[in-house]
């Protein structure tokens, strides 16, 4: 069988042999570079999804590609029964980006990073509840799914892991009332991603910090989607008056390779002990080398400053469309933006964008989500705004 036999064959094979857990759009991408993708027929697309905030340094960034190539030719995996330098260096870099005394658990994905954070919180206060916010998305494994209060995702898999309490995402009083001696942690995304980009307000974050301090609970930030430069600082919490005790990261951490991390500050750094948790592939040399190279690219003041500038430009363009009545709402920070349409036409806009050579995403019937690579240009932002102006 040929390695590549065209879109129709790929669709046929996928339908025949893969569990049908995804609703895919009818395009087979074969190559990427920077902000661009090419399909199997050679057609070019401008990517404003970046693998759902994964390829933030751009597709096939040469520095990351070279790091992968060099490490793949040296050593890919030996398990966590032994020491390897790339994983240790990655842990050092993540810990130092947080605070003195921090420690890191390396894994393979965002949902695994959140599972580690949930276990850490339960180890910190055995039997304690974990408070989460309405609209949250923390993953699809049973623990992280139990922390994701969305009935359409939870109900088919009940019974879930007990011990999660849900509060409104913008009600500081309700959060304060929910946190007490029975609480192990408050787990939240500084900017909720999967439900349509909802920045959590400063009063809510301050209430979470104060309630956790009062009760002796841990404050855990899920930065799977909003971290790694997406909001214009390396970590989204840097834009807030609050620092968590623990945060999680994944998605963009290795610019396309599977890696995640649970980063615990000094207060929680020694909670997990040998045998408490593990991951066969976690922090392997290959993905760790890719992550280190990705951090070289993204943890750069010039790039992060530019993310803020370009985010403002994109926001202003979306606001102009809202002012003209073509959008109902605009939300986000940096290059993590969403726009609500006046009517439930978002999937139609996504299909029209694909036909026009632009990759967009809808998180619901009326919501468009924008996640371009952080190396996007002014002209590329203007092209998407022009498309939206015509399509809407």
- Give the architecture (CATH level 2) of 7-61+300-391: Alpha-Beta Complex (3.90)
Cis before 224 (ω within 30): no
How many angstroms separate the Cα of 98 from the Cα of each of 92, 219, 298? Answer: 10, 14, 16
- The domain ranges of the chain are 7-61+300-391, 75-298
Which pLDDT belongs to residue 376? 98
Please tell me if the domain spanning 7-61+300-391 has the same topology as the one spanning 75-298: no
Averaged pLDDT, 275-292: 97
Yes or no: say if 252 and 227 are a contact pair by the CB < 8 Å rule.
yes
Write the pLDDT tens digit of every residue in 202-239: 999 999 999 999 999 999 999 999 999 999 999 999 99
Write the pLDDT tens digit of every residue in 308-329: 999 999 999 999 999 999 999 9
Q: Which of 192, 208, 209 is nearest to 200 (CA)?
A: 192
Write the pLDDT tens digit of every residue in 118-145: 999 999 999 999 999 999 999 999 999 9
Is position 251 annotated as part of the catalytic site?
yes
Spell 114-145 as b/e; 16+ CB within 10 A means b. Answer: bbbbbbbbbbbbeebbbbbbbbbbbbeeebbb
At 179, list the tokens. 């946190």
CATH number of 75-298, picked from 3.30.1360.170, 3.40.640.10, 2.40.40.20, 1.10.260.40: 3.40.640.10
Give the whole-number percent of the chain exceeding pLDDT 90.
95
Yes or no: say if 56 and 228 are a contact pair by the CB < 8 Å rule.
yes
**Catalytic-role residue among 47, 105, 164, 222:** 222
How far apart are the C-alpha atoms of 23 and 293, rounded to whole Å? 32
Write the pLDDT tens digit of every residue in 374-384: 999 999 999 99
**Catalytic-role residue among 137, 247, 314, 370:** 137
Q: Which of 263, 114, 120 is nearest to 194 (CA)?
A: 114
The per-residue DSSP string of 282-339 comes to TT-HHHHHHHHHHHHHHS-HHHHHHHHHHHHHHHHHHHHHHHTTS-SEEEEETTEEEE
Q: Which residue has the tokens 């003195």?
A: 100
**DSSP conformational letter for 255:** B
Is position 137 annotated as part of the catalytic site?
yes
**Catalytic-role residue among 164, 251, 340, 387:** 251
At 263, list the tokens. 């980063």
The length of the chain is 392
How far apart are the C-alpha atoms of 178 and 329, rounded to whole Å? 30
pLDDT exceeds cutoff 50 at 1 = no
| pLDDT band per the 50, 70, 90 thresholds, residue 7 | low
Yes or no: say if 314 and 385 are a contact pair by the CB < 8 Å rule.
yes
Taking the CB of residue 81, how many other CB atoms lie within 10 A of it?
Answer: 6
Which pLDDT belongs to residue 313? 98
């Amino acid at each position: 069988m040929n390695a590549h036999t065209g879109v129709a064959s790929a669709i046929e094979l996928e339908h025949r042999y893969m569990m049908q857990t995804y609703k895919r759009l009818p395009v087979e991408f074969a190559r990427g570079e920077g902000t661009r993708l090419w399909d199997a027929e050679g057609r070019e697309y401008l990517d404003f999804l970046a693998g759902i905030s994964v390829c933030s340094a751009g597709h096939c960034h040469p520095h990351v590609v070279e790091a992968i190539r060099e490490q793949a030719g040296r050593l890919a995996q030996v398990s966590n029964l032994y020491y390897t330098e790339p994983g240790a260096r990655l842990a050092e870099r993540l810990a130092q980006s947080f605070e003195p005394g921090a420690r890191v658990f390396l894994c393979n994905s965002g949902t695994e990073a959140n599972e580690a954070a949930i276990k850490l919180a339960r180890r910190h206060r055995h039997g304690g509840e974990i408070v989460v916010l309405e609209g949250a998305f923390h993953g699809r494994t049973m623990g992280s799914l139990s922390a994701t209060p969305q009935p359409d995702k939870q109900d088919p898999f009940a019974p879930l892991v007990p011990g999660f309490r849900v509060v409104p995402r913008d009600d500081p009083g309700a959060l304060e009332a929910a946190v007490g001696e029975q609480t192990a942690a408050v787990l939240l995304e500084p900017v909720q991603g999967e439900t349509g980009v909802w920045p959590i307000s400063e009063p809510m974050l301050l209430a979470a910090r104060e309630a956790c301090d009062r009760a002796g609970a841990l404050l855990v930030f899920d930065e799977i989607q909003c971290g790694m430069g997406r909001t214009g600082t390396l970590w989204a919490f840097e834009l807030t008056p609050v620092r968590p005790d623990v945060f999680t990261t994944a998605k963009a951490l290795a610019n396309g390779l599977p890696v995640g991390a649970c980063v615990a500050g000094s207060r929680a750094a020694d909670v997990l002990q040998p045998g408490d948790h593990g991951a066969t592939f976690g922090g392997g040399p290959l993905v760790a080398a890719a992550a280190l190279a990705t951090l070289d690219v993204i943890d750069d003041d010039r790039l992060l400053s530019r993310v803020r500038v370009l985010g403002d430009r994109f926001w202003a363009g979306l606001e102009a469309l809202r002012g003209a009545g073509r959008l109902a709402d605009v939300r986000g920070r940096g290059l993590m933006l969403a726009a609500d349409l006046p009517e439930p036409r978002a999937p139609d806009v996504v299909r029209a964008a694909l036909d026009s050579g632009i990759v967009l995403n809808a998180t619901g019937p009326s919501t468009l989500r924008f996640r371009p690579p952080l190396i996007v240009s002014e002209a590329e932002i203007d092209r998407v705004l022009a498309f939206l102006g015509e399509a809407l």
